[in-house]
Amino acid sequence: MVTSTHEASHRLFQDHPETLSLVFEALGIPPPSKSDFGTLSPDATEVRPLERRVDTVLKFEPEMGESFLIAIEAQTKKHPDKAKSWAYYVAHLRAKYDMPVLLVAVCKDRHTAAWAAGPFECAVGPWTTQVTRPFVLGPETVPKVTDESLVARQPGLAALSAIVHSEDRRAAAILEAVARGLVSFAPPTTAYWFEVVEIGLEDTPAKEKWRELMSKVITHFPGHRTLFEEKYLEGRTEGRTEGRAEGKALGEAKGVLRVLEVRGLAISDDVRERITTCTDLDRLDDWLVRAGTVLRAEDLFTDAPA
């Protein structure tokens, strides 16, 4: 069954394959760039009634060095049939594209990660015909990102860290650092990464903590009822009852305050009142952009540098 974690991994690695730098480092291969990758169809179905589909399949083709395929699977728990499925994926992709295949499993749970590392053998008596050994991105291999500057440099790695370590005792500290680092981007970029993490956290206790750190933006995952989507729909309802302009202004004001709060800036009563009572949408939009960079909340009201 495809879960939210599967979808988050699918989007994360397809949109930002450079997040696989941990894998390349472990293999002794120079760090990849996004331009080195191409996306292939995840369909591993042949002419037979059983459908087989990998979460994500990427083709790594550097200007120099060996080219190979990367098949990525998000695994949330042990599954007895996965040994057969994974062996099939690797064999099918190897035969179809005539390229070596690296299987990567993404796991949040330590026990699942230990199991997913295999090896999974196809053997008769003492003779082993085939061995499947996935490379696991899990709690033991993905670092706990608590440095905001690292989040700004590698948001994909930060998002992966937040998802993989969602059950760790330091999960709250990781989420707070990742949230603070992501706010340094332009609002649409921040919104995208915030939603990737929320989808990846699924129904873990860490999800509620993450929702507290999120600010109001338009959703990138329609239909999943994320906080962004709920607030957006809520704003539309308010707009119908209180007037579209007033409702949008109130939503923009809440967004400005939320960004300042996530960054840990002090907000006086005067500043809060000035923001919430403003009805100039252009001014509010300017404040929302600048809220991610100002040193004090009061600096919002000074003229922006040319």
Dihedrals phi, psi of 120, to nearest 5 degrees: -110, 120
CA distances for 276 relative to 235, 236, 240, 249, 272, angstroms:
15, 18, 19, 8, 6
Question: What's the pLDDT at 229?
Answer: 57
The helices-and-strands tally (H runs, E runs) of the chain is 13, 7
pLDDT-flagged residues of the chain (< 70): 1-7, 10, 39-54, 215-247, 303-306
Contact at 8 Å (CB) between 213 and 16?
Answer: no
Question: What's the pLDDT at 303?
Answer: 66
Question: What's the pLDDT at 83?
Answer: 84
Task: Report CA Rg, the chain.
Answer: 22
Tell whether pTM > 0.95: no
Question: What's the pLDDT at 102?
Answer: 94
Question: What's the pLDDT at 256?
Answer: 86
- 145's CB contacts (< 8 A; 6+ apart) are 151, 157, 158, 161, 162, 174, 177, 178
